[in-house]
Structure 1
């Protein structure tokens, strides 16, 4: 008979509990970092100190970099929430009895959301163009929902048939970038873009 002491069998339940706890900690740290980043960037812009973000979140800078290796990664994580909100806004506006006005309402909401803090609009313009970005899935959903508004407005004649939705969205992104420091001017530029710069010329002799 072998009297050699046997190692206790591993407690898989304890291992699973430890894994769940670690994962919960990771999720909490990530959520705290995003909340701190939004607060910091609202106050100081997207170029604010990442050390300050980590400090406000109550974690070390190493933890921040494990979650977000670069500043752009952190910005894109914040933008995911923005794009999700804008996609939901487009869905809410789709049944509107005035398709043209619904599209304009969404474009104004887009500009307002993506100028939430200084430096955000530039990141948005990049992701609108780069289909390889990590953020593109969220961006694509937002674009698809907004394009439904655009197509509906086009079918009712509120938007010219020759207009192209990607151009409209790029224009909105450019307005956001240009008015980031002066948000009050954004609405005027959107209205100008919607009505056109040149007034129709009268046809004499008719």
Structure 2
């Protein structure tokens, strides 16, 4: 990610208003909500929104960046609490639950996770460390990569949907995925 010069105070306030507005609009209408609705809610023109966030996925990534930073920090604080295979499972379930907050976001989750915002980068480092630890312990197949994890996160988000049973379905789908990447001698998580 390239380092951007600091924003002017008014531009920073507009950015913060756009992110807060996006959060409200996506919560109310889902990830497919009109970006014009976001701009209107923020009190800015659509051109201002597009100059700051040229794509919908860049707006999603910016909205999630602080959440992902906090999520990654919580995981760094928990380092070593769980066995590597269990840590990977719990991490995946918690991340998917966190990213599954807006209706219709699932199709963009993979792009968001790899968008290189500070939060997405921090989250990727945690995921890569958990995957590395599980591999080093001989619990996960060597060929499994972070990109594979992102694909699975996206697939589970798409399949889980939302609603009362979403968390249970997420856990079950993560368990199915882990059953496929764990080495045969690894215990079930």
TM-score band, normalised by the shorter chain? 0.7 to 0.9
* Structure 1 residues 123 and 97: alpha-carbon distance in aligned structure 2, compared to 1, 3 A threshold: closer
Using the TM superposition, give the Cα deviation of residue 141 of structure 1 relative to its aligned residue in structure 2, in angstroms. Answer: 3.5
Q: From 72, 77, 80, give the equivalent of 1:92.
A: 77
The residue aligned with 1:147 is 128
Using the TM superposition, give the Cα deviation of residue 77 of structure 1 relative to its aligned residue in structure 2, in angstroms. Answer: 1.7
Aligned mates of 1:146, 1:86 — CA distance in 2: 11
- Name the larger-Rg structure: 1
Aligned mates of 1:25, 1:168 — CA distance in 2: 39
- Determine helix, strand or coil for the equivalent of 2:62: helix
Using the TM superposition, give the Cα deviation of residue 34 of structure 1 relative to its aligned residue in structure 2, in angstroms. Answer: 0.3
Alignment of 1:45-124 (within 5 A): 45-124=30-109
Please say if 1:189 is aligned against 2:170.
Answer: no
CA contact (8 A) 1:89 1:106 kept: no
Aligned mates of 1:160, 1:60 — CA distance in 2: 49
Please say if 1:174 is aligned against 2:155.
Answer: yes
Aligned mates of 1:59, 1:137 — CA distance in 2: 23
Range that drifts further, 27-36 or 187-196: 187-196
Aligned mates of 1:68, 1:160 — CA distance in 2: 37
Q: From 119, 142, 156, give the equivalent of 1:162.
A: 142
- Residue deviations 1:161-205 (CA, integer Å, cap 9, x gap): 435132234223211122134523111111222345xxx9xxxxx
* Structure 1 residues 195 and 68: alpha-carbon distance in aligned structure 2, compared to 1, 3 A threshold: closer
CA contact (8 A) 1:111 1:172 kept: yes
Q: Which of structures 1 and 2 has the larger relative contact order (alpha carbons within 8 angstroms, sep 6+)?
A: 2
- Residue deviations 1:9-56 (CA, integer Å, cap 9, x gap): xxxxxxxxxxx9x82111111101101101111111112122222222
Structure 1: runs of 5+ lacking an equivalent: 1-19, 201-206
- Residue deviations 1:101-139 (CA, integer Å, cap 9, x gap): 2221111111112212123222222355x6xxxx23543
Give the TM-score of the pair, scaled to structure 2. Answer: 0.75
What is the root-mean-square deviation in Å for CA atoms of aligned residues?
2.8
Give the TM-score of the pair, scaled to structure 1. Answer: 0.69
